[in-house]
Amino acid sequence: MSNSKKIILTEQDMPKQWYNIQADLPEPLDPPFNVRTGKPATAQDLSAIFPEEIIKQEMSAERFIDIPEKVLEVYKIWRPSPLVRAFGLEKVLDTPAKIYFKNESVSPSGSHKSNSAVAQAYYNMEAGVKRIATETGAGQWGSALSMACKMFNLECVVYMVKVSYEQKPYRKSLMQVYGAQVFSSPSDQTEVGRKVIAEDPDNQGSLGIAISEAIEDVLTHKNAKYSLGSVLNHVAMHQTVIGLEAKKQMEIAGDYPDIVIACLGGGSNFSGTAFPFIMDKLQGKKSGLKAVAVEPSACPKLSKGVLAYDFGDSSGFTPALKMYTLGHTFMPGGIHAGGLRYHGASPLVSALVKNKIVEPIAVKQREVFDAAVLFARAEGILPAPESAHAIRAAIDEALKAKEEGKSKTILFNLSGHGHFDLSAYDNYLSGKMVDYEYPSEKVCEALAHLPKI
């Protein structure tokens, strides 16, 4: 098989279980904290917005959890995804390293987000939920959830941050094609939204406001629940189909990665890609694995943040989570990789960084786009700006291997395509793209607003 460009699994070879890394952590996670009650959050606290099965998964320490047959059926629309040997990129870099990438851009929504969206829609359907509300920024999560809800005949309501709604109308259109209702947030659909508009009619919205609107929507509609596309444990677990497939595919290729790389916004694509390999390390089967989480220098929570309890949203509605954070009020610079503009990192990834099992690095926007264009020209595929962070790190590792004259095996996740991001490429090609440095003063100020727990 060594001449194969793509290593393909059959549908029969798809993983039948997700991997839950909570079973293998060096120490248990600190629980989420309910700031209103002053106590750890309970399943009861979460039940207003999540169905029971999702809450069970969120708190489970079981190592493997069965993927329901109906979820597998929908996965088959695009899964198993290809593992690709980046021969073209290796040649351009003239590196002795072997570079593989898992191609999650083949999903109908264009990114890995569908892996959890389908699972969440299924569990909500099973629980008798009729309506799911969520928020979306750039629109990848909203697209994935819209499509997933349609597959299980659920109503989907998406509060889309106004500035994105206006600047990225095509993501909105895609959600509408899938039958979702999409509201520009702040909207007139909720108390929260109406209040914001009354105070500031030109408010451009924020993820924090959109989350508040989605949660209010859930609390004011019958049979409605909320859904989140990253950060939480169950989301990370659903994404492990990526790494589980990749392990089988690497085995077919007769290889095992020395280095696993994914970009990190909230942490779901990184978790999905790396956790099944980190499992081998935690279980003592492989010791040398290097797992790299790549974040933008504009929003480097793992590299420069603090490990503390913080809210998941910028308004402080959610339970507080123990995570690396830049502070929930921190507003990162306007990089094109909208999916990475998040102040915190998944508690699971945070725990692994703390234990030095995951290594974070931060990269600048222009070097990310250098890598994206190099990749597109060598491998033909246009990457999402988020995914290009992983490509940047993979290229740097391959060049290091060349310098050292070592043959390393590198695996990265191509989490999504860039078909909806061409204005970002325009910005790069026109020479106008700017870098955003780590804004230490803004971070300091935001960290002053951490909840006191």
Give the residue, chosen from 16, 39, 377, 406, that forms a contact with its own copies under the rule CB under 8 A: 377
Which strand (E) or helix (H) includes residue 359?
strand 358-363
CB 349 within 8 A of CB 388: no
Nearer to its own copies, 91 or 195 (CB): 91
- Size of site (CB under 8 A) for its own copies: 40
CB atoms within 10 A of CB 58: 19
* Residue 73 touching its own copies (CB under 8 A): yes
CB of residue 396 to its own copies, shortest distance in Å: 21
Q: Contact letters (x/-) for its own copies, 98-137, by CB under 8 A?
A: --------x-x-x---------------------------
Piece of the chain touching its own copies by CB under 8 A; list 33-41, 268-276, 286-294, 421-429: 421-429
Piece of the chain touching its own copies by CB under 8 A; list 35-43, 259-267, 285-293, 378-386: 378-386
CA-nearest of 50, 114, 450, 375 to 268 is 114
CB of residue 135 to its own copies, shortest distance in Å: 21
Q: How far apart are the first and last CA of the chain?
A: 54
* Residue 91 touching its own copies (CB under 8 A): no
Give the residue, chosen from 122, 412, 425, 438, that forms a contact with its own copies under the rule CB under 8 A: 425
Give the residue, chosen from 4, 17, 42, 223, that forms a contact with its own copies under the rule CB under 8 A: 4
Q: What does residue 92 show for φ and ψ, rounded to 5 degrees? A: -60, -40
Q: Report the relative pairing of strands 306-311 and 64-66 from DSSP bridges.
A: unpaired
* Residues in region 219-278 near its own copies by CB under 8 A: none
Question: Angle formed by the axes of helices 140-151 and 114-126, to 10°?
Answer: 40
| Rounded Cα–Cα distance for residues 258 and 91 (Å) | 20
Q: Which residues of 175-198 are buried (b: 16+ CB within 10 A; e: fewer)?
A: beebebbbbbbbbebbebbeebee
Give the residue, chosen from 26, 423, 445, 453, that forms a contact with its own copies under the rule CB under 8 A: 423
Give the residue, chosen from 25, 306, 373, 450, that forms a contact with its own copies under the rule CB under 8 A: 373
Q: Report the relative pairing of strands 306-311 and 6-7 from DSSP bridges.
A: unpaired
Q: Where are the beta strands (DSSP E) in 186-231?
A: 224-226
Q: Contact letters (x/-) for its own copies, 174-213, by CB under 8 A?
A: x-xxxx----------------------------------
- For residue 240, the 8-state DSSP code is T
* Residue 379 touching its own copies (CB under 8 A): yes
Residues 6+ apart with CB under 8 A from 56: 43
Which residue intervals of 286-362 are DSSP H helices? 301-304, 347-354
Give the residue, chosen from 245, 420, 433, 446, that forms a contact with its own copies under the rule CB under 8 A: 420
* Residues in region 136-175 near its own copies by CB under 8 A: 147, 150-151, 169-170, 173-174
User: Which residues bind to its own copies, rule: CB under 8 A?
Assistant: 4-6, 8, 10-11, 73-74, 76-78, 88, 106, 108, 110, 147, 150-151, 169-170, 173-174, 176-179, 373, 376-377, 379-382, 419-420, 422-423, 425-426, 429
